[in-house]
Structures are given as C-alpha cells and as structure tokens.
Amino acid sequence: MADSVRQDTPLYGRVLIRLTKPFPNFDFSFIKPIRRKAVASLSLPQGGRVLDVGCGPGGSFPFLVEAVGPQGKVVGIEISPLHSELAADRIAANGWTNVEVITKPAKDAALEGSFDGLLMFAAPDVYGSETELSNLIPHLTPGARVAAFGAKLAAGGFGRLLNPIIRALYKLSFSTTPPPSLEPWQTLSGHFEDLEITEYFFGLMFLITGKRRADN
Ligand SMILES: C[S@@+](CC[C@H](N)C(=O)[O-])C[C@H]1O[C@@H](n2cnc3c(N)ncnc32)[C@H](O)[C@@H]1O
C-alpha cells in the first residue's frame, strides 16, 4: 500500500472500508436521525448547491440529494482516496448524476461557484481548522447555513466518566486531528452566527448549526 494512502486513511478507516466495501449504502442506523437533523438545519432550497466536506463514504448523500432535488448539486470533498472510492460506489449504486466527489484535502479543493450550505459531519480535521475552512467559507453564499457534528468531551455527569474513551479514539485518528475538547466548535464560532448546539450521547457528541456571518 502506498505511503500516501496510509497517511490519508488512518488504520481504523482502512478496516472499516474493507468491512463495508460490499455494501455501498451502508450507514450506522443510530446516526441516521442526526444526519437527517443536520441536513434539515441547512434549509437547502430545491435546486441548491451544498458542500459535504470530509464526506467519507457518503453517508449523508441520500439526505443531501433529497434536500436539493434533481436540479441541485452535492459536492463532497474527501482527503482519502479509499473513502472516495466508497463514495463513488454509493453514487453509482444510486444512479445519482448530481453528486461529485473531489479527492483532496479541503484546503486544496478547487471549488467553482457558490454553495447554499456546508456540512461537516464527523470531520473535526475540517471544522476545527482555520486553514481548511479558509478555502470553503469564501464559496458560501451570504447567509449560507452550516452544520457540523462530532465528538467532544463531556463537562459532567456520566459522560465525564467516558471522556477517556473519546481521548483514546482520538489517538487512532490523523496526527493533525485537533484533540477533543469541551467546545470543539470554537473555530466555527468565529465565522458563523445564530449558533445552536445540541449534545448527544451523555454530552460526548454535538451537533452545531448556524449561518455564515454577515461580516465574514
Ligand atoms: C469520521 S469520517 C466521517 C465521514 C462522513 N462525513 C460520515 O459522516 O460518514 C471523517 C472523514 O473526513 C476525512 N478528512 C479528514 N481530514 C480531511 C481534510 N482535511 N479534508 C477533507 N477530508 C478530510 C477523512 O478521510 C474521513 O473520511
């Protein structure tokens, strides 16, 4: 295996890819209601254009395709060629002609046109990075909506006892992944407003939604 593939796809990702390859529509069922909610929060217009950054195998694509309709466009950005292959399998299996995946780190993706919404689902390397966001935000329409979902540390209660698990899982990720924190949305809050945060799973997961700041 090429070094670039090892570097762009952590071990846990390569294992998951191998297991799920025969099932192009695979997704964890517990996550689907959160994906649905994240996509609904984007308030995408029919015929709209949306970015799914760190799209992985495209688990959010069905919800995004439904939201923008056949005249709309879904653009995934994915750093890992192995994940992009799975996303391509999903696109082919569903016959979607309005979904495209750019296999690049978000910071280097050559984007054309503007987008009505930005989804970063379980993509901390993107929503936690000024560098990656700096290539995305200029392509958002004024008032475009954003949704990001990910892991966090719990501030108290039962969740706090499970914080070591979140810290251990983080060690399996990219070397550049920001360490888990109590408020992993800090980078986003500089660029988006009207933010609403919902916590899940004893405060170990969060969904943040908002819209592009007028002065950004
Ligand atoms: C935990 S997976 C989530 C995948 C997908 N969004 C989902 O909900 O199933 C995070 C994804 O972000 C990708 N990724 C990490 N850093 C990235 C970057 N800088 N630019 C684009 N994609 C990135 C990883 O390769 C991985 O596929």
Q: 34, 35, 50, 79: which to mutate for ligand 1, most atoms within 8 A of CB? A: 79
Q: Which pTM was predicted?
A: 0.94
Q: Which atom of ligand 1 is nearest to the CA of 77?
A: 21
- Span 45-60, pLDDT tens digits: 999 999 999 999 999 9
8-state DSSP, 215: T
Give the Cα separation of 88 and 110 in Å (integer).
19
- Span 112-163, pLDDT tens digits: 999 999 999 999 999 999 999 999 999 999 999 999 999 999 999 999 999 9
Distance of CA 187 to the CA centre of its chain: 15
Assign 7 a pLDDT band (cuts: 50, 70, 90). low
Assign 1 a pLDDT band (cuts: 50, 70, 90). very low
- Residue 3, pLDDT > 90, answer no
Q: Which atom of ligand 1 is nearest to the CA of 60?
A: 8
Residue 202 CB-half CA count within 13 A = 12
Distance in Å, CA 54 to ligand 1 centroid: 3
* Average pLDDT, integer, range 196-209: 97
Report all structural domains of the chain as residue ranges with CATH numbers, in order of start: 3-21+32-212 (3.40.50.150)
Mean pLDDT is lowest, of 6-15, 67-76, 151-160, for 6-15
Per DSSP, helices labelled H in 28-155 are 32-41, 61-68, 81-94, 124-127, 130-133
Give the Cα separation of 180 and 182 in Å (integer).
7
Distance in Å, CA 125 to ligand 1 centroid: 7
Give the Cα separation of 186 and 44 in Å (integer).
24
